Amino acid sequence: MSLTSKTLDIINHFGFKFNKNLGQNFLIDENILNKIIEGAQIQEEDCVIEVGPGIGTLTQAMAKHCKRVVSVEIDDSLIEILKETLGNYENIKIIHGDALKVDFKRLIEEENLENVKVAANLPYYLTTPFITNILSQKTNIKSLTLMIQKEVADRIIAKTGSSEYGSLSLLCSYYCDVKKIAKVSKNCFIPKPKVESMIIRMDIKDKPSIKVLDEALLFRVIRSAFNMRRKTLWNALKPLGLGDEKLKCALKNSGIDSLRRGETLSLEEFGKLSDEIKKLI
C-alpha cells in the first residue's frame, strides 16, 4: 500500500480534519522520509526530538533507525490517532504540548537523552520562532534537520549583501554550519502547501562562530540594523538609544562607515560593532 493511501485511510478512519492554522501538511513520499533520515545522519545510538509528528509517518520511520524518538504534538485530535499508529513502538514517546513552550534542556535531562538530534517536518508558521528558541536554549543538541519553506531556507543560507540576508541568516551562522539537503515539491504533501520546501541540516557548533562581549547586545544590534533594512546604520541604530556621540564613536572604532546598510555587514563586523557599543555603555 502506498504512503498516500495509508495516510488517507488513517485520516478517513479517524475523521481527521486538517487545521491550516497548525501548518498541517503531512508527508506522503517515502523518498523524502529517507532524505530526512539520511540528511539528519541518524545513527542507531541517536535520540531524536521531533516537532509535530502528525499521524506519525516520519516518527515511525526514524524510530526504526535510532534508539529513541521523543516527539511533541500540539493537536489534541492527533494525540488520539498517534496512540494507535505508534502504539507498537516502545522507543517512541509523544509529548502533548506546544514545542515553543518546551524547555529542551530539561526534556533532554528528564528523558535521559544522549546523542540528541532534532528532525522535523516543521509547521511553516513555527520555523523562525522554533529555530530562534531552540538555539538560544544552548542545549547539547548536535543538529537540527528541518523541512521548511524554501524561501526561509534561502534566508537562513543567505550570504552577506544578498536580498535574503538578515537577522535569521546571522543567528544561524552564529550558532551553526548550515547545509542544504534537498528541495521538496509541493506534491509530496497532503494537503499540498502553497510553496516549495527545502530540507536543511544545521550542525550546531561547540562554540559560536565569533566571540563577543555581550551576546544579547549583538542580537539587539543585528535586529535594529535590519528593522529598517533600507536605512543607513547611522539611522537604523538610533533606536538603540546610545545617543549620537556614542553611536558615532562605536562605528568609528569598529571601522564601519555609518553610511553602510546592515545588509552589507558580515557577522564578524556586527560582532566588532556590538563590542565597541558595549565598551561605551
Report the interface residues with ligand SAM, using CB under 6 A.
22-27, 51-54, 57-58, 72-75, 78, 98-100, 121, 123, 126
Tally of CB atoms within 10 A around 206: 6
Q: 135 or 247, CB closer to ligand SAM?
A: 135
Report the alpha-carbon distance of residue 145 to residue 119 in Å, rounded. Answer: 5
Report the alpha-carbon distance of residue 236 to residue 215 in Å, rounded. Answer: 19
Minimum distance between the CB of residue 232 and ligand SAM, rounded to whole angstroms? 38
Minimum distance between the CB of residue 234 and ligand SAM, rounded to whole angstroms? 39
Minimum distance between the CB of residue 245 and ligand SAM, rounded to whole angstroms? 45
* Cell numbers placing 44: 542507531
Q: Output the CA torsion sign for 212, 215, 221, 223.
A: positive
Residue 98 is assigned to a ligand binding site = yes
Q: 51 or 181, CB closer to ligand SAM?
A: 51
Minimum distance between the CB of residue 197 and ligand SAM, rounded to whole angstroms? 9
Q: 87 or 255, CB closer to ligand SAM?
A: 87
Residue 25 is assigned to a ligand binding site = yes
Q: 148 or 267, CB closer to ligand SAM?
A: 148
**Pairing between strand 176-184 and 197-204?**
antiparallel
**Pairing between strand 116-121 and 176-184?**
unpaired
Q: What are phi and psi of 40, to 5 degrees?
A: -80, -10
Residue 46 is assigned to a ligand binding site = no
Residue entry with cell 494525540: 79
- Give the annotated binding-site residues: 25, 27, 52, 73, 98, 121
- Give the annotated binding-site residues for S-adenosyl-L-methionine: 25, 27, 52, 73, 98, 121
